[in-house]
Chains A and B, each alone.
Chain A
Amino acid sequence: MIGIDRRIIFLLIGFATLLPLLKPFGLPIKVSPEVRAVYEYIEALPERSVFLLSFDFDPSSKPELEPQATALLRHAFRKNLRVIGMTHWLTGTGLADGVFSKVAAEMGKERGKDYVFLGWAPGTGALIISMGQDLYKAFPSDYSKNPTRGMPVLVGVRTLRDVNYLVSLAAGGAGIEMWYVFGKDKYRFEMGGGSTGVIAPGLYPFLRSGQINGLIGGLQGAAEYETLIRQKGTATAGMDAQSATHFVIIILVLLCNVFYFLLRDQKGRSA
């Protein structure tokens, strides 16, 4: 077992992923308080409130963060909020615009009136400060080249202080932390976060201290959000596969430990 060909492990993980995707067995999904907090904040916002969704990821994190983005957009559009989208990740621009267009079309929302996708601009922290001073200077036009000034969706919005709620979907440092440090701490808007599983443990201190009011972590978090909005999507579909692969990994870890200790005992006796 200790010297097992690693390709056998790849095959086991492959089957554990593939089979539940082909034939799901529908394990229950329990909603965590940190995901519920984001949902409840959006749920409590009055109609036409301003919701800023920052797509701070690129295609390499798409399987985890696109379902989160889709679920959040569906919820925001259903609540008839005005949605502003943008990204700090240059390579995620096309992906983010695609998600916006797809969900907006599905919900019958109009670009420029119900939502705007501002795209990418350089600067990260400096860009946030610039948006906090004058949104129209930071983004004179949106991703579709339309001038932002005078856009119906941005009526009454001059700076970040006019944003009612912000969620950053982050795959790295230029995301939730950056938005908190240069944005929320200075311009005093409420914010939540969504992240990949890899960076989620590092964000729990922000949650505990109240620096963010909620956190959607990884595919599991996305599935929880889909449960809350009662609209199942790709995250819910992937949860059975996630559980199956975790089960295989736990079994393999246990087996390897058993064989390791057996071998160690054998070596000890023969020495």
Chain B
Amino acid sequence: MPEQLIPTGTFLGAWVAAGLTLFIYSFLYTDNPLFKLGEHLYVGVSVGYSVVVVWYTVFIRLVGEEIKKGNFEPIIPVFIGLLILTRFIPKIAWLSRIAFAFVVGFGSGVAIPRTVSALILKQIEDTVNPLFTLGEGGLSLGWDLALPQSGVNTVILLVGVVSVLFYFFYSIEHAGPAKVAARTGIYFLMIAFGAAFGYTVMSRMSLLIGRFADLIMFSGAEYGYATLVLLGVIIVTLALWEIAIRRREGHSPPE
């Protein structure tokens, strides 16, 4: 047993984290019981954790403690929330409509004006920027591609927005000049998808790097060589599982 310099909780946590990471990565070889165990634990722990945080934050902190202090305001949302549960009692199920009406009415009322203002009007405003800027030498068109507000970028943005919108305009046949506009839209869409996919690849690789960095850390002596030990255990388990499956299927294990 190596000299333990870190707290027991951290030590055990490292073993659990390393084990579950390797269980999940074992899917890269093939679907197997260890992966299934890791997957089910992930779902179970996430739900369990969420229930505990909601119980403590909502029921204890925001409702219970406030009522104890003499603030009875939280009773109103709690009452409306409880009405949703009346759906389980057919005779009074209609009461749940009050709660849903409140949710839909409040949600729409709050979200629609704010969303239209922030996501539509503000973006339209930015799409139509001035092409020319007035400087000391008179009117000029900015050619700097690296500058978001330059004239050349304004032109690219405007052409992109209009052509993509045109591509999704199906009321006229895409032929002649309309075909050129729609095709330009496709090119802009392809570039956007490419950029999004590139970022997604980068993001997924970052996640892999993060897990590998942790696995490297947990392979040290202070963690009891957790990664290396568990990797060995998983390889042996997978080999035994593979042999058992082949025997069951009537094949002899490979030499």
Q: Which residues of A contact B (CB under 8 A)?
A: 7, 10, 13, 17-18, 21-22, 60-64, 90-91, 93-94, 119-122, 125-126, 129, 140-141, 145, 177, 180-182, 185-186, 196-198, 200-202, 205, 207-211, 217-220, 234, 237-238, 241-242, 245-246, 249
Q: Which of B110, B199, B216 contacts A218 (CB 8 A)?
A: B199
B53 engages A17 (CB within 8 Å): no
Q: Which of A21, A22, A208 contacts B126 (CB 8 A)?
A: A208
A17 engages B115 (CB within 8 Å): no
Q: Which B residues are in CB contact (< 8 Å) with A140?
A: 61-62, 65-66
Q: Which of A122, A186, A245 contacts B205 (CB 8 A)?
A: A245
Q: Which B residues are in CB contact (< 8 Å) with A219?
A: 202, 206, 209-210
Given the known inter-chain contacts A17-B209, A208-B148, please indicate yes or no for A197 contacting B111, CB distance below 8 A: no
Stretch at the interface among B87-95, B117-125, B165-173, B182-190: B117-125
Minimal beta-carbon separation of B16 from chain A (angstroms)? 13
**Nearest residue in B to A217 (C-beta to C-beta)?**
B199
Q: Which A residues are in CB contact (< 8 Å) with B207?
A: 60-61, 63-64
Q: Which A residues are in CB contact (< 8 Å) with B212?
A: 17-18, 21, 241
A21 engages B200 (CB within 8 Å): no
State the CA gap A120–B106 with chains docked (Å).
21
Q: Which B residues are in CB contact (< 8 Å) with A125?
A: 110-111, 114
Residues of chain B from 201 to 219 with CB closer than 8 A to chain A in the complex:
201-203, 205-213, 216
B57 engages A245 (CB within 8 Å): no
**Nearest residue in A to B115 (C-beta to C-beta)?**
A181
Minimal beta-carbon separation of B81 from chain A (angstroms)? 10
Given the known inter-chain contacts A62-B210, A121-B57, please indicate yes or no for A7 contacting B202, CB distance below 8 A: no
State the CA gap A220–B205 with chains docked (Å).
11
Whether B50 sits at the interface, judged by CB under 8 Å, is yes
Q: Which of A63, A122, A220 contacts B211 (CB 8 A)?
A: A63
Q: Which of A10, A60, A180, A218 contacts B202 (CB 8 A)?
A: A218
With most chain A CB atoms within 10 A of its CB, the pick from B206, B208, B210 is B206
Minimal beta-carbon separation of A152 from chain B (angstroms)? 21
Whether B29 sits at the interface, judged by CB under 8 Å, is yes
Q: Which residues of B contact A (CB under 8 A)?
A: 28-29, 46, 49-50, 53-54, 57-58, 61-62, 65-66, 106, 110-111, 114-115, 117-119, 122-123, 125-126, 148-149, 192, 195-196, 199-203, 205-213, 216
A197 engages B202 (CB within 8 Å): yes
Q: Which B residues are in CB contact (< 8 Å) with A238?
A: 206, 209-210, 213
Given the known inter-chain contacts A140-B66, A209-B126, A238-B209, please indicate yes or no for A90 contacting B50, CB distance below 8 A: yes
Minimal beta-carbon separation of A14 from chain B (angstroms)? 8
Return 10 A-B CB contacts under 8 Å, by A number: A21-B212, A60-B207, A62-B210, A63-B213, A64-B206, A64-B210, A129-B110, A210-B126, A242-B209, A249-B201
A90 engages B216 (CB within 8 Å): no
Given the known inter-chain contacts A90-B53, A126-B110, A205-B123, please indicate yes or no for A7 contacting B199, CB distance below 8 A: no
Q: Which B residues are in CB contact (< 8 Å) with A90?
A: 50, 53-54
Q: Which B residues are in CB contact (< 8 Å) with A61?
A: 207
Please list the 7 inter-chain residue pairs (A to B) with the smallest Cβ-Cβ separation, ordered nearest first.
Answer: A63-B210, A197-B203, A209-B126, A219-B206, A238-B209, A181-B118, A197-B199
